[in-house]
Structure 1
Amino acid sequence: MNKLVLPRISGTREMPVMPEASQLTVIGGSGVGKTKFIEELIRLNSDRAYCISVLSAPFPEREESTRPGSIDVLYREAAERRSYMRRDAVSELDKLSYLIFTDEFEYLLSLKQNSRKGVPVKLAPTRLDRLVMLWERVFPSNRIIRTEGTLMFSTASGSDLISLGKLSKGEQTVLYYAAAVLYAMPGAVIFVDSPSLFIHPSLLGNLWNAIEELRPDCTFVYDSVDVGFVNSRTSNVSIWVKSYDVEMRSWDYEVILPGDLNEDMFVDLVGTRKPVLFIEGDARHSIDSKLYPLVFADWTVKPLGSCDKVIETTRTFNDLKNMHHLKSKGIVDRDRRTDNEVDYLRRKSVMVPEVAEVENLFLLEGVVKAMARRRGRNPEKVFGRVSAAVMDEFRRRFDEQALQHVRHRVKREVECRIDARFPCITAMELHIGNMVSMLRPREKYNEVRASFQKLIDERDYNGILKVFNHKPILGDCGVAHMLGYKTKDEYVAGVIGALKEDGVIAEAIRESIRYCFRVDEPVPEKKRHVQDHKPEPPRQNKNHAKPTSARNPKSHNNKKRRKNVN
């Protein structure tokens, strides 16, 4: 493998040389000059450039290539040298078939001649042998048969031999790429357009591994937007093309070496114009991945699994701002983090909600009331019962929750203190022995209990949601049954469904959740009433005191005005 000369970088006269690499993928969004970049890359390395594309391989209606070493030129030169070679091939696929069969014929003929001369005959793998081996490796039930001066194929779908033209599109693609690579010049830079086209995803990685093994002397340059394919290239170097200066014939681009950034993430994101939001959980099962794309609709949301991965990736992505123009943030659950820990994360572009975990977002006052209106329930009554149930459950788990919070704080402090440098083992033992007095766990426990008791005494519902780490609370509080759902999962699905409808209810839910992240300022009272559905009137009991509007004319007039606005 030789080094590659790369196109000119915008704003400079520099034409960098890329270190040796066996795999290179050119990535970028639509309209940024990626195709022009590849054309320039081919021009700069024209003495070794070998271009293959299955988009045109089976079709005769195309302009033949005049590039030295191309399939068209190889076939034309071979036909001129061999009077017996068929000259009616038009498509690249047919030309490769004729070339490979003719080469096989000539090789066997040379062996026969050498045998007659008494020269020891030693069989070596031919191009056809290597093609057959790869074909049967990819399609274990299929065979390539040499018969009557041409190649025929047996497949698992039938017993009759079929011709090249009757193979499926996927089979033709595999045959074309494998055969074409065998005819690349030594040390070639093989440019492959759309390498995953027509190929089943289950075959993709192993197929290209096998094809690359055919030519370890070559560099493979792929033009692909298939994230799965790029991830399958284990030694892949990516070139991210961001923009093209037509007048200067130069590009703004970056070379991304393996390990610099997770390619699954990067290839998935660089084509987007939206800011990027990294979240916890997985893309299929977590509540986070279902909720946040609907709440933060102007962001590209990327689930990463653990909170540590979110924090680290957000930091890395922002550290690489010289490589992209995307704004990026992260979201992690608050869990039992202290205010200082939360402030630190927010300074690092990691958003932390004012609730303990994602499940608590579904218990926010604005969310519960919006869903009550959607289900035809009385918002105040439903929320009153939900908040009472949450507070009762928090009161019941009071000591357990306090202990868990203290455990988190002590664990953090131990990690910091035990990391100190010690001159000897005795000093370390002394330090550990004094740890309890330094950490003061009981004092912390009493402080946490006092703060929790204050939340209960003041009936601070939002404050309880902020510290209450108990995932079953969404089911235990009964919000689902109060709103006519059978299970808490149905309730979660109901909230997601409301957000997808994107009406006034969705806006009320979205507003509540975004405000919980300190993303938006609170909506003014008048605007909030305009957005809301008219709540069901509460049932009046004649023993109750008269409504406020009856006692306060000014309040009555205000309500009348709001009604007219609605």
Structure 2
Amino acid sequence: MSFIYNLPDEQLNPKQCETDSNALVIIGANGAGKSKLGAWIEQQDLENIHRIGAQRNLNFNENITLKSYSQAEDIVFWGTAEENQKNGKGYRWEWGKSYTTKLMNDFEDVLAALIALKNNENDNFVNQCKKAEETNNEKPHTPVTSIDKLSYIWNDVFPQRDLLIEDSKFYAFLQKNGKEMRYSANQMSDGERSVLYLASQVLCVPKNKILIIDEPEIHLHRSIMNRLWKALEKHRQDCLFIYITHDTQFAAMHGNADKIWIQDYDGEHWKFKKIEDNDLPEELLLDILGNRNNVLFVEGEKNSFDVQLYGALYPSYHIIPCGSCSQVIERTKVFNNNPSLHNCKVYGIIDRDYRSDYEIEKYKENNIFTLNVAEVENLFITEELIRLMAEHMGKEANTTFEEIKKYVIHTRFSHQIESQICQSVVAQIKYKLSCVDISKQNSEKAKASLETAFKSINYEQVSSNETEKFQKILSEQNYADVIKVFNEKGIAKSIGQYFNIDNSSYCTTVISLLNGSKHNDIVAALLPYFPTEIPR
């Protein structure tokens, strides 16, 4: 089954689009005109499109005022049951004054419509049974009513509790500690009432409609959000669901849905693009499309010290932790090779590690830059930061720095220099091998390319060069040069003693001050160790 919907062209004329999926996700940053686009789509076919606005009043009376289905349906769909006020859904959207901002206050009408629909279904069943009796034919099977479907959906979303409908009243029902408990639907949590409202809306809408849902994630926890919409899509396969959202996880979880990214909106015209299949991680791609800031890929995990440091140094960037340096390199390259997918600048920052100057310069060609320390943890032990922290804690800055310098160079670096040289040699050779162009044409060419690569790598020369470099740095005892090549993550967690605090407290203290009274001072102390090529 395919569905037809309209999107505006450059002159705001409707352009027909077709999809084989019954879900379409329109995603964009805040202020990108998403809700206005949803309103525009609705206005192209008012009789066949039902839009659920983002502003929803989830309060209603315990006793539902019953109505006929046609009356309740008109109130839900058109905003009124009065024929002379239906034109253009003007009553529903206050005659164009609040297409995207009106607070929807139709919860009770939606429940009344669902009850009326169930009553119609039951009446129809009874009439069919009577007719079968009169003609001595087999009676029809008991129908699955709209209320039955609502209960199925509810159980999909909230498997630990049931939904009861008694005498036009809705209840949540559960067993706790061996006791049965029930509470009225108007006393439910925001999430429960939101599920009840949205599910009832979708189920009471007539067949073969387009449903536009603005901000489907409101009031819904991530653990239930996707379960709800998947269940509703399953029960209403006759309808096309158009979701308008900035929630990238919601969009990514709709793997089979078509996705439209709103790139820009000037107040009247939209610029948008359909997201086609690509080799980018979908959730990551959508995360970038959903923001308007430039992007900075970094190593580390969410909420780690290094990510917090990057966030402080680059406050106007969308910081995305990638875990490993290889992921930073790969993602930065891929996004910069697909500029048509985004409107932002994309950079990557990686640790210096054991990289050669040549390797570092090559990465710059792809907007990938390195720190001026071996690894991000070494930012905590830079001379400028040590002096700043010493002064803050009432210590003598020169003395404290000299003590830490001696500890880092003589106690740690000098005793690990052989292993540091070995790891640097291995890193240099690995990089040289990674640059080899191994042909995929056939095995003979691949073998020849690899043999040529092996011959071009002089292990003894690499080892000699790295040994000379490390020994020179050790003999000169230039502290900045030492932390530029010394890869040892544990050092930053071993110098708290020099400030008369626990070793484990030093980094957290720096982060606390960075987020507080010493923010500007710490940023100034660390800035010389960050790449100048990335504008702040």
- Structure 2-normalised TM-score? 0.81
Query: Of 184, 203, 212, which aligns to 1:182?
Result: 203
Aligned 1:153-552 pairs, distance under 5 A: 153-156=171-174, 159=180, 164-246=185-267, 249-257=268-276, 259=278, 261-270=280-289, 272-284=291-303, 286-392=304-410, 393-417=412-436, 419-420=438-439, 437-475=455-493, 478-487=494-503, 489-503=504-518, 506-519=519-532
Out of 257-266 and 297-306, give the one that drifted further.
Answer: 257-266
Aligned-pair distance for 1:98?
2.8
Secondary structure at the counterpart of residue 359 of structure 1 = helix
Shift of 1:211: 1.2
Contact 2:374 2:485 (8 Å CA) reproduced:
yes
1:272 and 1:144 map into 2 onto residues whose CA distance is: 39
Offset at residue 301 of structure 1 (A): 1.6
Say whether 1:6 aligns with 2:7.
yes
Cα distance in 1 for residues equivalent to 2:281 and 2:331: 9
* Percent identity (aligned): 25
Output the CA distance in 1 between the equivalents of 2:258 and 2:77: 30
C-alpha contact 1:58 1:93 (8 A) present in aligned 2: no
Structure 1 458/252 Cα, relative in aligned 2: closer, same or farther at 3 Å? same
1:136 pairs with 2:155:
yes
1:113 shift after superposition: 1.1
CA distance in 2, matches of 1:429, 1:346: 31
CA gap 1:410/1:267 in 2 versus in 1, 3 angstroms = closer
Whether the aligned pair in 1 keeps the contact of 2:265 and 2:271 (CA below 8 Å) is yes
| Letter in structure 2 aligned against 1:497 | S
- Given the alignment, which residue of 116, 130, 133 partners 1:113? 130
- For 1:261 and 1:70, the matched residues in 2 are separated by 44
Contact 1:373 1:379 in 2 (8 A): yes
Q: Secondary structure at the match of 1:199?
A: coil
CA separation in 1, counterparts of 2:314 and 2:350? 14
CA separation in 2, counterparts of 1:66 and 1:109? 22
Distance in 2 between residues matched to 1:383 and 1:56, nearest whole Å = 61
Contact 1:193 1:224 in 2 (8 A): yes
- What is the CA-CA distance between 1:302 and the residue it aligns to? 1.8
Shift of 1:283: 0.6
Compare 213-222 and 193-202 and name the one that shifted more.
193-202
Amino acid at match of 2:416: R
- How far does the alpha carbon of each residue in 1:89-110 deviate from its partner, in whole angstroms, 9 at most, with x for none? 9833233233233123213312
Letter in 1 for 2:212: F
Shift of 1:417: 4.1
**Equivalent AA in structure 1 for residue 388 of structure 2:** A
What is the match of residue 42 of structure 1? 42
- Aligned mates of 2:221, 2:448 — CA distance in 1: 64
* Unpaired segments ≥5 residues, structure 1: 78-88, 522-566
Rounded to whole Å, the distance in 2 between the matches of 1:337 and 1:92 is 67
Shift of 1:202: 2.2
Alignment of 1:80-91 (within 5 A): 91=108
The one-letter code of the counterpart of 1:512 is A
- How many residues align? The count is 496
- Residue identity opposite 2:385 in structure 1: V
For residues 429 and 130 of structure 2, what CA distance do their matches in structure 1 show? Answer: 85
CA distance 1:139–1:398, shift in 2 (3 Å): closer
Between stretches 212-221 and 224-233, larger displacement belongs to: 224-233
Q: Which has the larger radius of gyration?
A: 1
Post-superposition offset of 1:16:
6.4
Q: Secondary structure at the match of 1:283?
A: coil
1:95 aligns with 2:112: yes
Paired with 1:365 and 1:16, the residues of 2 have a C-alpha distance of 63
Q: CA deviation at 1:342?
A: 0.9
Comparing 364-373 with 16-25, greater Cα deviation is found at 16-25
How far apart are the structure 2 equivalents of 1:259 and 1:208?
A: 25
Deviation, structure 1 residue 317: 3.2
Instruction: Note the residue ranges of structure 2 that are not aligned, 5 or more in a row.
Output: 62-69, 83-105
Change (3 A) 1:398 1:422: farther
Q: Distance in 1 between matches of 2:403 and 2:282?
A: 48
Contact 2:299–2:328, Cα closer than 8 Å, also in 1: yes
Q: Deviations over 1:220-240 (max 9, x none)?
A: 111223344333322243333
Q: Does the CA-based 8 Å contact 2:73-2:113 persist in structure 1?
A: no
Q: Which amino acid aligns with 2:430?
A: K
Q: How far apart are the structure 1 equivalents of 2:254 and 2:386? A: 47
1:362 and 1:492 in contact (8 A); partners too: yes
Distance 1:138 1:68 in 2: 25
Letter paired with 1:403: C
Distance 2:450 2:77 in 1: 77
Q: Deviations over 1:508-560 (max 9, x none)?
A: 43223222123289xxxxxxxxxxxxxxxxxxxxxxxxxxxxxxxxxxxxxxx
Q: Which residue of 2 aligns with 1:24?
A: 24
- Asked if the contact 2:296–2:318 (Cα under 8 Å) also holds between the matched residues in 1, the reply is yes
In the TM superposition, residue 414 of structure 1 has moved relative to its aligned partner by 3.0
Query: Which amino acid counterpart does residue 210 of structure 1 have in structure 2?
Result: A
Query: How well do the aligned residues superpose, as a CA RMSD in angstroms?
Result: 3.5
TM-score normalized by the length of structure 1? 0.77
Of residues 105-114 and 369-378 in structure 1, the stretch that sits farther from structure 2 once superposed is 105-114
1:196 is displaced (CA, Å) by 2.1
Residue 353 of structure 1 aligns to which amino acid in structure 2?
Answer: L
- The aligned amino acid for 1:71 is V
Distance 1:428 1:300 in 2: 41
Task: Report the Cα distance in structure 2 between the residues aligned to 1:6 and 1:244, rounded to whole angstroms.
Answer: 14
